[in-house]
Amino acid sequence: MWYTLCMAKQYIARDLGKIILRSASEFPVVALTGPRQTGKSTLLKRTFPSFKHISFDDALQRQLAAKDPRLFIGSLKPPVILDEMQYVPEILPCIKQEVDQNRDKNGQYILTGSQIFNVMSGLSETLSGRVALFELLGFSLPEMSKIEAIKRSPDKCFEMLFGGFYPEVAAHKADINSFYGSYIHTYLERDIRQIRSVHDIRLFQQFLELIAARAGGLLNLSEISKECGISHTTAQNWLTLLESTRIVYLLRPYHKNTTKRVIKSPKIYFTDTGLLAYILRYPDPATLMSGAASGAIFENFMVIEALKNKFNTNSRYELYFYRDSNHNEVDLILDSGHMKKLFEFKTAKTLRPDHWAFLSKGKTVFDKSDAFLVSLSEEKTTLEKGIHSIPWWDFPSQLN
């Protein structure tokens, strides 16, 4: 038993690794953000094995850096990886000074952070032109296929959605209940309270559950705040916390060259379906697949897969959805500027014309667009001119 527990964990190469390595040869600073437990530190240690590693999760290191940031940074001998730097943002001006004094040296500081907005804003303001910025989420479908062949049946799809895409669960087979229970406890007790004062953790957890129940739908904060018994301002602040720690992702409505009828509320998704299923208290994949939220969770999966692809390939497309006051809707639009791709997601094996009805209308709304119906069907086929049916496991191949 002891030997089993102590065996080295399998490392799954991340698609972002090569891009980060190249950027380190072009920029003096590289920064990687993303939620906790997505493998940021592991990726960087593997990509830069000779770099010294310092984590500000360590209270002593955090205290030393905060007490005298100039002395701390000056005492380092780059190249170095500095983990969880959101705890000591005061080191950024000192890094800037060191970088400016050694502009001929690239790849000197590799930074990570788990609070996306705070980290990004600080880096953009202080290290503008000196830093390459990246974000890492859980495993993508192409990365999951490195662990084992993707099983394409609907029940295997929902097994994967139920388990989620954090490396500890997906690659290292951690117990799902133990992992997500600990994840939420750590997130609530440490991260949330360090970012902002949340006086009633139980009320915040109730807010989190209400958000989860609306995953894949339009966000109505007024409704949620009333149901939770908090002010709209508090609800907005708490939503910002969830978004800034990348627990949730807000998909914005498409608005360019559209009429005033376009609905302006964003749609909300969780960046990991396993965490979402845990919060919603689904006991097993079969219940998840047959439950009322199966369609929303499948859509959640697909939207976040597109987001992962954008991050992992450093692509420049933007993600939107479209819905007008007549309830005509496109689940996902990838806007590359010169063209658009429209996607509709359905948890169906047998396809009907009404499944792709608005994709037909959408092609008239969005010029220079291709449209795809993504479903549990295993067949690739052309439904009508410019509209294609693809199975869920082939979705990544259509993103670039």
Q: Are 291 and 389 within one domain?
A: yes
Number of domain units in the chain: 2
Average pLDDT of the residues in 86-109:
91
Q: Are 193 and 276 within one domain?
A: yes
Residue with tokens 């259509």: 398
Average pLDDT of the residues in 86-100:
91
In a domain, 4, yes or no: no
In a domain, 23, yes or no: yes
In a domain, 8, yes or no: no
Between residues 303 and 87, which one has the greater pLDDT? 303
Q: Are 129 and 172 within one domain?
A: no
Tell me the pLDDT tens digit for each residue of 161-218: 999 999 999 999 999 999 999 999 887 777 777 666 677 888 889 999 999 999 999 9
Q: Model-level pTM? A: 0.92
Q: Are 43 and 146 within one domain?
A: no
Average pLDDT of the residues in 226-244:
91
CA distance 288 to 280: 10
Q: Are 184 and 49 within one domain?
A: no
Q: Are 391 and 334 within one domain?
A: yes
In a domain, 9, yes or no: no
In a domain, 41, yes or no: yes
Write out the residue range of the structural domain in which residue 167 sits: 141-398
The pLDDT value recorded for residue 346 is 95
In a domain, 24, yes or no: yes
In a domain, 126, yes or no: yes
Tell me the pLDDT tens digit for each residue of 270-302: 999 999 999 999 999 999 999 999 999 999 999
The pLDDT value recorded for residue 257 is 52
Q: Are 117 and 161 within one domain?
A: no
Q: Are 229 and 161 within one domain?
A: yes
